[in-house]
Amino acid sequence: MAEQQLRKEILDIFKDAPDEKFSISDINQKLHLKGADTFRKLVQSLAQLEEKELITMNSKGDFRLNNPKKPVEGVFHANDRGFGFVTIDPDEPDAFIAPMNTDFALNGDTVQIDILKPAQPLQDKGPEGKIVAIVEHNTEKIVGEFTPYSDAQQDETGFFGMVQSHDKKLAKYTIYVSASGLKPQAGDMVQTEITAYPDNEHQESMLGIVTKTLGNKNDPGVDVLTIVYDHGVRVDFPDDALEQANAIPDTVQPEELEGRRDLTDQAVVTIDGDDSKDFDDAVNVWKLPNGNYHLGVHIADVSHYVTEDSPLDREAFERGTSTYLTDRVIPMLPFRLSNGICSLNPDVVRLTMTCEMEINPEGKVVKHDIFPSYIKSTARMTYNNVNQILAGDEALRTQYAKLVPMFEDMKDLHEILFNMRHRRGAIDFEEPEAKIIVNDQGWPVDIVLRNRGLSERAIESFMLAANETIAEHFYKKHVPFLYRVHETPDDEKIKKYFEFITNFGLVVKGSSKKVTPKMLQGVLAEVQGKPEEPVITMMTLRSMKQAHYADEQLGHFGLAAKYYTHFTSPIRRYPDLTVSRMIHSYFDHGTTEAEKDKWAEKLPGIATQSSTQERRSIDTERATDDLKKAEFMQDKVGQEFDAVISSVTSFGMFIELPNTVEGLIHISQLSDDYYDYVENQLALVGEHTHRIYRLGQPLKVKLERVDVDQREIDFSLVPGQKMPEDAELANSAQKQRRATQRERNNDRRPRRGNGKPNDHRSSNRNNNNHNGGNNNQHRSHRPSTGNRPHKQTGSTNRYQSKRNKPNKGNH
């Protein structure tokens, strides 16, 4: 085939699918090309088309039609310094939007952009764009502090007052409110419905109507409530949902037991935290004569009460999850259900969905049964008490003498299941997690570390086993189903991870293109107990994707599980409620084509909504924790603390205290030298002193500033500390900086990694490319970014935050 004809046929493939990406092998297959010589010509033709800017290649080597004038749609991520980025495709670099090209879009807006400059993958640069239209505003309501106008000001302006948001990305905007809404008092925190957005004539102002008053900013609890409303978490239940909840009897009715298996003669227990009030899972274990173990996992049958498409169901779908804050819970279901008829309280009959498993000494589920049931919980146990029983507490062992043999069997079965997961490569992270203790006024009085004991780990093992068993059962029935998935990490991220760990003398056998959980597990095992363990653990976590919900079985990388779902927490998670409903549906109606079509249509929307609401809830919980930690540190300015470096960025380093409080040491505080940021080692190195600051390094710090409104904590280094030095790294960094400066002179665009600043966690601390400038080297006179990235909190083996709940299959 002539080269000109080959290029034409290649271009036709792209023109027929202008929005799709194709790899070289995809194109080769479509053209039915054979032979090494023909393949070489194909590669040359692609290169020529790319040279002519007819097609463009991404960082993964895939090609797509290049139409820089065609508007494309995406989500805008604002930076408080004026510029922003637009995510067009999660697998592609985001488009940089300069301040003059934002068209006054707000953070989260869906926008249409023109591509001004295409991406340059070989130089690690994303495209540059210009917003040409705002398709949909994401921000319809803003929470802020109200300032009233005097009578004279009202007469002059026609407005009742103004509202200022505490969110840095919105703080520059003044929201003028009319008198047609509520009339709050000075200092009240209010929710304002936006009626007019910024434009050319009003670049830093909006108009709105006050629709809700949360209370004075100094009133107890208003600080948390402000965060809740600011994140759009639904607080009040609609009347029809409450009416439905109130109409449900608070005891199980005799007719509801029909068609269910009676398990009330079995010893079944719930094991939860001391302050838990909603018990949605109960377990029992015994050893079988053949040496195997019986494991029964009994989950509250919430779907029996929250019927499909009812007011309660619609509200639960909108919420997606319960939100667990420091001093309150915002439930997915009204408390009448979550703490009442749906809660597996002791000594009362409750409706359940049961997954019984027979597990052999190797941890394999050799038999299982899934069925609707009813139980009567024998005891409401706490983690603390079971841990003490297993540790030999005589008083508790006497009090619960009938249950002690079962707890011993639980311990043995957990060890079997844990070892099984470890053998297959499951990655078991463990980080300290803080519990913030607040008084009756909601003020933080202490921060204590939570310890996960044997009983917490055992319940986790049992919930994981049930989730895997349920997922595999329905996958093999070839029916639509909802899965919890954690996909294989991106090649590029793993490649950078492998490069990073070589700085610690660690070498991984195998290719970054075929990474397995076992490979990463081996890295963590090699550094266990060593000084670099926290650093490697953190970087391992950052290299991974974020778990989410999907209607496809994509496996769970972190658990090294082929099949996984969420089934065990239907009181607090809508996906679990959906899974329970599907089980009933398939049992009652069979796996007919009509039934499969029904769920195939519903599940994509449920998966997307559940993932979105989970993210919203986690962000709210983290913001609340940050607020309470800032309040806790407010009266400690000037005090000195031991700390470790928890993250290094181009604008400074984040440090963490032993109680998990974190703060920033801005690079301007390092006044003894010019410091270069070395990205591939996540380090700051001094040009003259050769001093180096990197992840995991211990420091002595002084608390300089606490801004409660912005939830910011700033530290400085205590003088006189001896820091490690690295002359070779310093020289290398200087050379790289000079090369980078030459590059910046040619192209002033900030560069960004693949994906938005959140990537698979809640902020850009974990994506050091999001710094508004060239991300290779920055000097100590660099201005403040205003960004406050956030580190993953909680026990990281969840691949999400712990959310103040025990880890019962939250992965």
pLDDT tens per residue, range 160-200: 999 999 888 898 999 999 999 999 999 999 999 999 999 99
pLDDT band for position 681 (cuts 50, 70, 90): confident
Q: What are phi and psi of 38, to 5 degrees?
A: -65, -40
Please enumerate in sequence order all residues whose Cβ is within 8 A of that of 92, keeping only pairs 6 or more positions apart, or say none.
58, 59, 119, 126, 754
First to last CA, the chain: 52
Domains of the chain with bracketed CATH: 3-65 (1.10.10.10), 72-136 (2.40.50.140), 141-219 (2.40.50.700), 239-477 (no CATH), 491-542 (no CATH), 637-780 (2.40.50.140)
Q: What is the mean pLDDT of residues 714-741?
A: 84
Nearest-CA neighbor of 413 among 287, 290, 289?
A: 287
Q: What is the mean pLDDT of residues 735-760?
A: 53
Distance from chain centroid for Cα 618: 6
The pLDDT of residue 767: 37
Residue 740 — pLDDT band, cuts 50, 70, 90? low
Query: What percent of the chain clears pLDDT 70, i.e. is strictly above it?
Result: 90
CA within 13 Å, CB half, 762:
22
Both tokens assigned to 227: 């965060």
Phi, psi of 712 (to 5 degrees): -115, 140
φ, ψ for residue 558, nearest 5 deg: -60, -35
With bands split at pLDDT 50, 70 and 90, how would you rate the model's confidence at 685? Answer: very high
Residue 505 pLDDT level (bands cut at 50, 70, 90): confident
* Strand ranges of the sheet holding 675-678, from the earlier edge strand across to the other edge: 675-678, 683-686, 692-694
Residue 756 has pLDDT above 80, yes or no: no
Looking at residue 102, the DSSP 8-state letter turns out to be S
pLDDT for residue 503: 82
Alpha-carbon span 588 to 307, nearest angstrom: 14
Residues linked to residue 75 through DSSP beta bridges, in sequence order: 87, 110
> Helices in 352-453 by DSSP H: which ranges?
383-391, 394-399, 404-424
Buried b (16+ CB within 10 A) or exposed e, 644-673: bbbbbbbbbbbbbbebbbbbbbbbebbeeb
pLDDT higher at 526 or 44: 526
Distance CA 210, CA 173 (A): 16
Mean pLDDT of all residues in 73-93: 87
Residue 682 — very low, low, confident or very high, per pLDDT cuts 50/70/90?
A: confident
Q: How far apart are CA 568 and CA 810, in angstroms?
A: 9
Q: What average pLDDT does range 751-760 have in this prediction?
A: 36
**d(C-alpha 586, C-alpha 592), whole Å:** 8
* Whether the Cβ atoms of residue 604 and residue 549 lie closer than 8 Å to each other: no
CB atoms within 10 A of CB 155: 9
| 289 pLDDT more than 90 | yes
Determine whether 514 is exposed, middle or buried from the number of CB atoms within 10 Å of its CB (0-12, 13-18, 19+). Answer: exposed
CB 558 within 8 A of CB 488: no
Question: For residue range 303-316, what is the model confidence (pLDDT) as tens digits?
Answer: 999 999 999 999 99
Kindly indicate the confidence band of residue 382, based on its pLDDT and cuts at 50, 70 and 90. Answer: very high
pLDDT at 34: 79
Nearest to 714 by CA among 759, 651, 801: 651
- Strands 205-216 and 174-177, sheet pairing: parallel
Question: Residue 69 — very low, low, confident or very high, per pLDDT cuts 50/70/90?
Answer: low
**Residue 555: its pLDDT value, please?**
96
CA angle 321/301/452 to nearest 5° reads 55
Model pLDDT for residues 462-500, shown as the tens digit of each residue: 999 999 999 999 999 999 999 999 999 988 889 889 988
Banded model confidence at residue 779, pLDDT cuts 50, 70, 90:
very low
| Least confident stretch, 17-31, 411-425, 562-576, 693-707 | 17-31
Question: What's the pLDDT score for residue 76?
Answer: 95
What are the distances in angstroms from CA 578 to CA 498, 569, 572, 809? 39, 11, 12, 16
Most confident of 328-342, 503-517, 730-744: 328-342
62-80 mean pLDDT: 81
Give the C-alpha separation, 620 to 605, whole Å. 22
| Mean pLDDT value of segment 1-16 | 80
C-alpha distances in Å from residue 240, one per residue of 74, 104, 247, 314, 315: 36, 39, 11, 10, 10
Would you call 139 helix, strand, or coil by DSSP? coil
**Where is average pLDDT lowest: 141-150, 561-570, 758-767?**
758-767
Rounded CA separation 181/189 (Å) = 14
Measure the CA angle with vertex 653, ends 652 and 659; round to 5°.
150
Rounded Cα gap, residues 654 and 763, in angstroms: 13
Using DSSP bridges, classify how beta strands 675-678 and 293-300 pair: parallel, antiparallel or unpaired. Answer: unpaired
d(CA 157, CA 153): 6
